Amino acid sequence: MHRAAHSRNMGNVHNERYTIPMTFSISSKDKNARPLSLSGHVGFDSLPHQLVNKSTCQGFCFNILCIGETGIGKSTLMDTLFNTNFENFESSHFEPKVKLRAQTYDLQESNVRLKLTIVNTVGFGDQMNKQESYQHVVDYIDTQFESYLQEELKIKRSLHNYHDSRIHACLYFIAPSGHSLKSLDLVTMKKLDSKVNIIPVIAKADTISKSELHKFKIKIMSELVSNGVQIYQFPTDDETVSKINTAMNGILPFAVVGSSEEVKIGNKMVKARQYPWGVVQVENENHCDFVKLREMLICVNMEDLREQTHTRHYELYRRCKLEEMGFTDTNPESKPVSLQETYEAKRHEFLGDLQRREEEMRQMFVQRVKEKETELKEAERELQGKFEQLKRLHSEEKSKLDEKRRSLEDEINTFSKKKAAAELLQGQSFNTNANLKKDKDRKNSGFM
Amino acid sequence: TPHSCKTVPGPGMGDFSYVGIDAILEQMRRKAMKQGFELNIMVVGQSGLGKSTLMNTLFKSKVSRKSVQATSQEKIPKTIHIKSVSHDIEEKGVRMKLTVIDTPGFGDQINNENCWQPIMKFINAQYEQYLQEEININRKKRIPDSRVHCCIYFIPPTGHCLRPLDVEFMRRLSKVVNIVPVIAKADTLTLEERDFFKQKIREELRANGIDVYPQKEFDEDAEDRMINDKIREMIPFAVVGSDQEYQVNGRRLLGRKTKWGTIEVENIAHCEFAYLRDLLIRTHMENIKDITSSIHYEVYRVRRLNENNTAVAHANGLPQHHMTSHEM
Per-residue model confidence as pLDDT tens digits over B93-138: 889 999 999 998 888 888 888 888 999 999 999 999 999 888 888 8
pLDDT given for residue A134 in this prediction: 86
Q: How confident is the model at residue A269 (pLDDT cuts 50, 70, 90)?
A: confident
Minimal Cα–Cα distance from A201 to chain B, Å?
19
Q: Give contacts of A 347-376 with B, CB under 8 A.
A: 348-349
User: CB of A234 within 8 Å of any CB in chain B?
Assistant: no
User: CB of A329 within 8 Å of any CB in chain B?
Assistant: yes
Sheet harboring A112-122: ordered strands across? A254-255, A198-202, A169-174, A60-67, A112-122, A99-109, B3-5
User: Between the CA of residue B200 and those of A351, B59, B160, B194, B206, what are the distances in Å?
Assistant: 61, 30, 7, 10, 10
Which of A35-39, A244-248, A427-431, B311-315 has the least mean pLDDT? B311-315
Residues of A in contact with B138 (CB under 8 A): 319, 329
Sign, Cα dihedral of A425, A431, A437, A443: negative
CB-CB contact of B230 with B283 (8 Å):
no
- How far apart are the two ends of chain B, measured CA to CA in Å? 23
Q: Which pLDDT tens digit goes with each residue over A101-123?
A: 888 888 888 888 888 999 988 88
pLDDT given for residue B6 in this prediction: 47
User: CB of B137 within 8 Å of any CB in chain A?
Assistant: yes
Residues contacting B180, CB < 8 A, separation 6+: B150, B151, B152, B153, B212, B213, B235, B236, B237, B276, B279, B280
User: CB of B278 within 8 Å of any CB in chain A?
Assistant: yes
- Looking at every residue in chain B, the average pLDDT score rounds to 83
More confident position, B32 or A7:
B32
Q: Are B309 and A23 within 8 A, CB to CB? A: no
The mean per-residue pLDDT over the stretch A55-71 comes to: 88
pLDDT given for residue A331 in this prediction: 45
Read off the amino acid at residue B154: F
CB-CB contact of A48 with B93 (8 Å):
no
Candidates B165, B131, B169; CA nearest to B151 is: B169
Minimal Cα–Cα distance from A248 to chain B, Å?
17
Q: Measured between CB atoms, which of B33, B61, B121 is closest to A24?
A: B121
Q: Are A52 and B15 within 8 A, CB to CB? A: no
Q: Which pLDDT tens digit goes with each residue over B250-276?
A: 888 888 888 888 888 888 888 899 999
Q: ipTM of the predicted structure?
A: 0.81
Q: Measured between CB atoms, which of A35, A39, A60 is closest to B24?
A: A60
- Looking at every residue in chain A, the average pLDDT score rounds to 81
Helix (H/G/I), strand (E/B), else coil: B154:
strand
User: CB of B61 within 8 Å of any CB in chain A?
Assistant: yes
Residues of A in contact with B6 (CB under 8 A): 84, 86, 105-107
Sheet harboring A278-281: ordered strands across? A262-265, A268-275, A278-281
pLDDT given for residue B91 in this prediction: 87
pLDDT given for residue B319 in this prediction: 47
CB-CB contact of A144 with A109 (8 Å):
no
pLDDT given for residue A372 in this prediction: 93
User: CB of A335 within 8 Å of any CB in chain B?
Assistant: yes
User: CB of B67 within 8 Å of any CB in chain A?
Assistant: no
Distance separating alpha carbons of residues B216 and A185, to the nearest angstrom: 55
Mean pLDDT is highest, among A105-114, B9-18, B294-303, for B294-303
B27's enclosing H/E stretch is helix B23-35
Q: How confident is the model at residue A202 (pLDDT cuts 50, 70, 90)?
A: very high
Q: Are B7 and A108 within 8 A, CB to CB? A: yes
pLDDT of A58 > 60? The answer is yes
Read off the amino acid at residue A79: D
pLDDT given for residue A16 in this prediction: 33
pLDDT given for residue A444 in this prediction: 62
List the single best residue of B3, B13, B19 to mutate versus A (max A Cβ within 10 A).
B19
